[in-house]
Structure 1
Amino acid sequence: MKRNKIIISIAVIAAIALALFFLFFNKKQDGVQLETEKPKIGYISETVTATGTVQPVDTTTVGSRISATIEEVYVDFNSKVKKGQLLAVLDKSLLQATVDQVKANLAEAESNAIYQKSNFNRQDQLYKTGSVSRAEYEIALNTYNTSKAAVNSIKAQLYSAERNVSFTRIYSPVDGVILSRSVSPGQTVAASFNTPTLFSIAKDITKMQVEAAVDEADIGDVSNGQRTTFTVDAYLNDVFKGTVKSIRLRPTTTSNVVTYTTILDAPNDALKLKPGMTASITIYTKEVNKALLIPAKALKYSPDSTLSKKYTIEQGGENTSKSKDATQVYIWVLNGNTIVRKQIRTGINNNTQVEVLTGLDANDHVIIGTSTVASNTGTAAASSPFLPQRPKR
């Protein structure tokens, strides 16, 4: 019995020793394998990212030309209004008193003009008969003309006073939605130096615009008509579409960062977009739908000299020092056991994929890198019932 235990122990030790030999001392030298990919047909784009603010396309401010107290306000925030609709009424008592005073002055001036006309007619008849001098005649004529001018002047004053009374009724100049209301009944409006804003009206909130701040490093790629998409925090799962409308030439500098305001048209038929929302914007500066694409890392690959033991390396194409075109680059293609350098002309490069314009076809095997493959010949160790199996690669 004791002898059998010794024999089993020796067998186990021998099996472990054999496994360790194959595992550590009989391991083959690691091999190098090329990673290749065939070019694919697909979509590629270059984009510019920015942030911006959603705003109505056209906003009209409604103010007051006169100073008075607000009597009534007939609209509130978000109220839909029509052109010509009454929005508010101001106190007109003082202005009406001015109108009444000017009317009285006009009546006096008209009465005086009638008298001066009658006096002039008498002086004219007397002058024709030689009963009065020419000086007296001219005095009567001048007085009559002055009275007529006074009537016209007071009529202008009356028109101005009546217009001021009409300004006490504030009407909407456009169809739209009230974005802001700055006054309440009883509040005094002072229009001495500038026109106070009473209401702000958005003409059409189904058509919004985004004011995007585009960095100066990216603005050169942006132009009118380019497609854009953006998201807002209120609807993270919704992607809104737009179009570049214009680029304002006036720059904005914040913390030494120069940006240019770029206006994007944004349809808002669902009325989800609201003024003031912050938008995260993507502007598609270049797009190709059916492009021949290769991985961008293929442009950085260069074969190592150790590959010459297994592969034949051919330096095809022109000398890179002679090429001044940045789109003329070189890649390596695997053809059987031969590694061949090819010159290609590239288009869009988004740092993940590269558009190939010329120099490559869809059947080429483009080398994108290498991988190391380790192998063992220890079949005996792998089949030992006393050791765990090594994971397969």
Structure 2
Amino acid sequence: MNYESTIPSDDFAKMDESEDRARSRRRLILAAVAAVALLLAYIGYHYFLGGTGAGDDDAASQAPTVTVIIPGKQQVTRTINATGTLAARREIPVSVVGEGGRVTNVYVDAGDWVKQGQIMASIDRAVQTQQAVSLEASVGVSRADLNLAQSNLDRAEKLVDRGFISKADIDRLTATRDSAAARLRVSQAQLNETRARNSRLNIVAPKAGFVLDRSVEPGQTVTQGSGTLFLLAQDGEMELQAKLGESDLANVSVGTTTQVTPVGTTKTLTGQVWQISPIIDTQSRQGTARISLGYDSALRPGGFASARIRGGTSEASVLPESALQNDSKGSFVYIVGPDNKAVRRDVVIGSVSAAGLTITSGLNGNERVVLRAGGFLSPGETVLPKVQKKTGGA
């Protein structure tokens, strides 16, 4: 039997279009699966086939190149940095020596130089001068009495042989002469004492030096209880009283050359350690190294200064500043191990010089130290080291 189809031609067209869309979806799915398979194969080849060495070679080719240096060790002069207070090396307070009185004149001021024995201030001596005049007159009277007594004795001695004068009279005249001589000596002693007292009314410089302070004015009444009127720095010599820790103090000796820079100036002065404190402060655990300095206008007692003290020589590694890193744990460098991996190494920094930073602890000098770019590395990171030869002090 023959049957004629009752399906419209439009329906056949729709069916063909639906089958085309289904075939397109299947092709897209197959393409995605193939892409995923290729990706997995790539990952497996590069990351899971390391036994063949291919993975390591690829990682090495991707590692960053860093410049390293082998610092070695060299003779380094140890420099101790310290701060302290400036003062006069020999400070001399000048006050009233005599009985004092009203100040008539002041001849020097702070900042002046004085010679030993120079009059710095004078005190009114009107009364003392009249006392000296009176004593001079007494000396004259005593001398006249002595001369008269001596003349009487001389005449009497000439009359003894004639019998006009007895031996008793001679003894009496001799005693009179001796008494007059004694009174003369007493008067002279009193006059000399008064003159000495009057000379001490002047305020004089006991030593040559530089006047640091003046605390007296004309018209002021001063006595031995008035305190210090002038303050001198003997010969103008100054010193820096540098505070040092126990370990640093043990490495300093008398005569060590020192560079001193007063705060607020760029001037560097050369001095020498002339005394080292024999005791350590129990609270601060510090001692004092006293550094002698010649006079300089930049040195003001009471001010602060920094010092660079030579503390002997030792062998140590020296690195440029670019090799050092710092964090909350302290200073460190990166070294490259035999496996070309970056390793953190904590170090202790010593003195700083034009040659670089002295490493007092942490390196033996044979390591490959990352010279630059250490801030971009992480511990354990693989790198390609490139050794840089040292030039000069670096």
Q: Identify whether the pair has TM-score above 0.5, normalized to the shorter chain.
A: yes
* SS state at 1:197 partner: coil
Relative to structure 1, is the Cα distance of residues 106 and 43 closer, same or farther in structure 2, using a 3 angstrom cutoff?
Answer: same
Give the Å deviation of 1:181: 0.7
Q: 1:212 aligns with which of 242, 248, 251?
A: 242
The reply to whether residue 244 of structure 1 matches residue 277 of structure 2 is no
Count of residue pairs the alignment pairs up: 310
SS of residue paired to 1:234: coil
Q: Secondary structure at the match of 2:170?
A: helix
Q: How do residues 179-328 of structure 1 correspond to structure 2 at under 5 angstroms?
A: 179-191=212-224, 196-202=227-233, 205=236, 208-235=238-265, 238=266, 240-248=268-276, 250-251=278-279, 253=281, 255=283, 257=285, 259=287, 261-267=288-294, 269=296, 271-287=297-313, 293=317
CA RMSD of aligned residues (A): 4.9
Distance 1:233 1:174 in 2: 29
1:99 Cα deviation from its structure 2 partner: 0.6
Structure 1 residue 82 displacement after superposition: 5.9
For 2:104 and 2:169, how far apart are their aligned partners in 1?
Answer: 56
Q: Mapping of 1:349-360 within 5 angstroms?
A: 351=360
Distance 1:84 1:139 in 2: 49
Contact 1:50 1:215 survives alignment (8 Å): no
Larger RCO: Structure 1 or Structure 2 (Cα < 8 Å, ≥ 6 residues apart)? 1
Equivalent of 1:372, from 369, 380, 388? 380
| 1:138-184, Cα deviation, whole Å (9 max, x unpaired) | 33223312311321232232123223333344455666542111211
CA contact (8 A) 1:48 1:283 kept: yes
Q: Which amino acid aligns with 2:360?
A: N
Contiguous gaps of at least 5 residues in structure 2: 1-20, 49-54, 320-336, 341-357, 371-377, 384-394
Could you tell me which of 52, 56, 78 is aligned with 1:46? 78
The SS at the match of 1:125 is helix
TM-score of the superposed pair, with normalisation by structure 1: 0.60
Distance in 1 between the 2:83 and 2:193 partners?
49
Indicate the SS of the match to 2:217: coil
Q: CA deviation at 1:185?
A: 1.9
Mark the CA change 1:19 to 1:44 in structure 2 (over 3 Å): closer, same or farther: farther
- 2:85 is matched by which residue type in structure 1? T
Match of 1:141 among 174, 178, 182: 174
Instruction: Report the Cα distance in structure 2 between the residues aligned to 1:368 and 1:13, rounded to whole angstroms.
Output: 48
Q: SS of the counterpart of 1:77?
A: coil
Distance 1:162 1:373, change over 3 A: closer
CA gap of 1:175–1:15, structure 2 versus 1, over 3 A, is farther
Richer in strand (by share): 1
Query: Structure 2 CA distance, aligned partners of 1:234 and 1:40?
Result: 38
Which secondary structure state, in structure 2, belongs to the residue aligned with residue 94 of structure 1?
Answer: helix
> How far apart, CA to CA, are the structure 2 residues paired with 1:247 and 1:16?
84
Contact 2:258 2:273 in 1 (8 A): no
Instruction: Answer whether contact 2:89 2:239 (CA < 8 A) is retained.
Output: yes
Cα gap change, 1:22 to 1:243, in 2 (>3 Å) = farther
Change (3 A) 1:26 1:191: same
1:380 maps to: none
Asked which structure has the greater CA Rg, the reply is 2
Alignment of 1:124 onto 2:157 = yes
Deviations 1:349-375 (A, max 9, x none): 85258798xxxxxxxx54679962459
- State the AA in 1 paired with 2:275: I
Aligned amino acid, residue 47 of structure 1: T
Q: CA deviation at 1:204?
A: 5.4
Which amino acid in the other structure matches residue 289 of structure 2? T
Partner SS, residue 218 of structure 2: coil
Q: Deviations 1:232-258 (Å, cap 9, x if unpaired)?
A: 4323xx363433342256536453746
CA distance in 1, matches of 2:33, 2:186: 128
* Counterpart position of 2:47: 26
Q: What code does the residue aligned with 2:76 have?
A: I
Q: Residue 334 of structure 1 corresponds to which residue in structure 2? A: none
Q: Kindly provide the amino acid, as one letter, of the partner of residue 197 in structure 1.
A: T
What 5-or-longer segments of structure 1 have no aligned partner? Answer: 296-305, 312-348, 357-364, 376-393
